[in-house]
Every structure is written in C-alpha cells, then in structure tokens.
C-alpha cells in the first residue's frame, strides 16, 4: 500500500469535526505504518518523514497515544539531526528539524514534561527565526505553543509577550477573522482570566468562539477548549448555570468527535466536577471525577502529574461526601432526641 497517499488523504478528515472514521482507518493499518515509518528513518528518507508527519502527529494526539508518538518522532529527530550535521548548508533540512522539534514538544508537553517541551520549542524557534521572514505565518503556532508553556509555568509576562506576538502575526498574515486567529485569541483570553482581567478575557473568548463557529461549525472538536474556558470564567464569576451549559456542550462535542475515553475529555469533566463541588453537589462531582481518573489511568503513564491531581480531587470530594453523610446522621439523631 502507498502509505504516503493513504495518510495524506486523511489529513483533511483528521482536521474535521468527526475524525473517528480516519482514526479507525489508520488504526487498522497502524502496525504496517509503524514499520513504514521505521524504514523511512532507517533509509534516511526525509521526503517520506516530511510528507506523513502531520497526519501521524494528528493521529497520535487525537488517539491520546502520547508515549508512542513521542518515541516515533524522537527517532526521526535523531536521524534528521545527523543529516543536518552532514549537510549544514541545507536550510530545508533545518526547517524540517524545526517542524519535528515542535511536534516532539507537543507530545512531551502532553506527557507532563513542560520544561523539556520548552527547550524543544525554543530550539525550533531559533531555527525558524534565523531562516524565515519575521512575518512568516508558520511562526504563529510555535509562538502560541511557547506562550502556553510559560503560561502553565505561571510566567505570565513571558506568556503575554508570546501570545501577543502570535496574535499580531496571525492577524497580519491571515486576516482578523481567519481560523488561525482563534487559538491565540483563546489563549490570550485564558491569560487575562488567570490574571483577573475578566472583561477583556470574556471579550476575547467570545471573539475566538465566533470565529471558530463560523469557520468550523458549531460541533467541531476544536471549539472544546474555548467553550470550557468560557465556562471556567463564568464559574469563577458565580454564573454557575451558564457555566454548566457550556461544559455540557463541550463534553457532548468531545464524546461525539473523539470518543468517551479520550484523555482530552478529562479536563472538561474535571472542571464540571469542580463546578458541582462548588455548588455542594458532591455526588455528581464524585461520579465525574471517578470517570476522569479512569480515563487518565488508561491513557497516561502512571507517573503523570495529572493522575495524582485526579486522585487528590476525588479524595477531596469523597471526604466532603463522608462529612455530609455524618452531619446528616447527627442531625437525624438530634431530631429524634428532641422528638422532632
């Protein structure tokens, strides 16, 4: 089988609002595709690596197979670094290396290695800024990802600097309502929310959501982060009903597009559980947090920090449920003593 054509033909569907069909098709062929990828690395087949890197990156991210994706692209990076050393003047090889470093950083970050991912992103940025025009649109996603890493590390000034660069570049190169503008808008809005600038945050979230709905449709899986982020903003401002509606919409889209056991659903389920706990509805929160822990234990390494966070959240809710039951029993006993 021509696996270059097989994989590249499915890129569009992997980007679409229902990637389940191409995911299943690729999974059926995955053992042969692994061998195909290994052969390409063994024979220094840079053209093949470049051609199939995007569909394989999307496949492994959408499946939540971060470990295998990280290992596959790590092997490719070793081979490409060797080729760059042998051909230092070939800028196309250096740009391919930069693309692979970005993908490797994505997987590493998903596995909880924010500091290592940061190094990969900076290495990729150094290569691209040396070779490409400062206005090259391919820099936008890299700047956005680097900002996200700093954001996660609570380095807010650095995060805002890179978010603003990504947004300015996207608007300049793509237009103010292009789908490529939605992600930097969303991420900058998250930063403003986290630093207490709620009005500006909501305005940017709304603009990001409007662009995504217009360009992708209202049930596309790429709407999930923005829906969840707006819901979290509403939760923090006490708008619990509005937050619940958006969380449930995000979960419905995720389950339809990615499947109920995908790790990408876990964050939204966890946030909805926190909303219920904040309202004192510990039983509903407990059910969701058990689901979150099951998803993460199936899809992530046992040492991943998200698993320990999920356990801690579940234990905290279990504790509150137990305390509530004890208070209920004490209240019943007191009423009996008083003849009520």
Question: In the predicted model, is pLDDT for residue 288 greater than 70?
Answer: yes
Question: In the predicted model, is pLDDT for residue 328 greater than 70?
Answer: no
State the pLDDT at residue 323: 64
State the pLDDT at residue 324: 63
Run of H or E residues at 169 = helix 156-174
What are the backbone dihedrals phi and psi of residue 127, each rounded to the nearest 5 degrees, phi first?
A: -65, -50
Q: What is the mean pLDDT of residues 233-258?
A: 92
CA distance 11 to 215: 17
Q: What is the mean pLDDT of residues 183-203?
A: 94
The torsion of the CA quartet 18, 23, 24, 26, rounded to 10 degrees, works out to 150
Q: pLDDT tens digits, residue range 256-272?
A: 887 888 887 888 999 99
Which of 262, 196, 193 lies closest to 232, judged by CA?
A: 193
CA distance 189 to 173: 21
Q: Which two tokens stand for residue 253?
A: 């889209």
pLDDT more than 70, % of the chain? 95
Which of 67, 58, 78 lies closest to 15, judged by CA?
A: 58
Q: Which two tokens stand for residue 224?
A: 């999930």
State the pLDDT at residue 331: 52
* Predicted confidence band of residue 7 (pLDDT cuts 50, 70, 90): very high
Q: What is the mean pLDDT of residues 206-220?
A: 93
Listed in sequence order, the residues at least 6 apart from 242 whose beta carbon sits closer than 8 Å to its beta carbon are 231, 234
């Amino acid at each position: 089988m021509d696996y270059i054509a097989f994989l590249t033909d499915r890129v569009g569907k992997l980007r679409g609002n229902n990637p389940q069909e191409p995911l299943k098709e690729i999974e059926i062929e995955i053992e042969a595709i692994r061998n195909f990828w290994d052969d390409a690395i063994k024979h220094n087949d840079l053209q093949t690596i470049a051609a199939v890197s995007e569909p394989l990156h999307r496949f492994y991210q959408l499946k939540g197979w971060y470990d295998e994706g990280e290992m596959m692209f790590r092997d490719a990076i070793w081979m490409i670094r060797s080729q760059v050393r042998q051909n230092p003047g070939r800028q196309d090889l250096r740009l391919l290396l930069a693309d692979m470093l970005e993908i490797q950083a994505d997987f590493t970050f998903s596995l909880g290695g924010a500091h290592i991912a940061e190094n990969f992103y900076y290495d990729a940025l150094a290569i691209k800024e040396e070779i490409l025009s400062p206005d090259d649109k391919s820099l936008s996603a890299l700047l956005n990802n680097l900002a996200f890493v700093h954001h996660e590390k609570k380095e807010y000034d650095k995060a805002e600097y890179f978010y603003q660069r990504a947004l300015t570049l996207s608007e300049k190169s793509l237009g103010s309502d292009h789908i490529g503008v939605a992600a930097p808008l969303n991420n900058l809005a998250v930063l403003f929310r986290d630093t207490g600038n709620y009005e500006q945050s909501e305005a940017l979230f709304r603009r990001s959501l409007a662009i995504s709905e217009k360009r992708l449709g209202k049930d596309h899986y790429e709407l999930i982060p923005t829906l969840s982020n707006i819901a979290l903003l509403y939760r923090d401002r006490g708008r619990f009903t509005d937050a619940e509606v958006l969380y449930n919409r995000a979960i419905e889209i995720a389950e339809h597009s990615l499947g109920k056991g995908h790790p990408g659903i876990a964050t939204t389920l966890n946030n909805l559980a926190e909303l219920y706990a904040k309202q004192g509805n510990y039983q509903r929160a407990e059910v969701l947090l058990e689901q979150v822990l099951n998803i993460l234990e199936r899809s992530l390494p046992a040492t991943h920090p998200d698993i320990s966070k999920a356990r801690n959240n579940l234990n905290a809710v279990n504790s509150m449920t137990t305390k509530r039951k004890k208070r209920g029993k004490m209240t019943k006993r007191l009423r009996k003593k008083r003849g009520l």
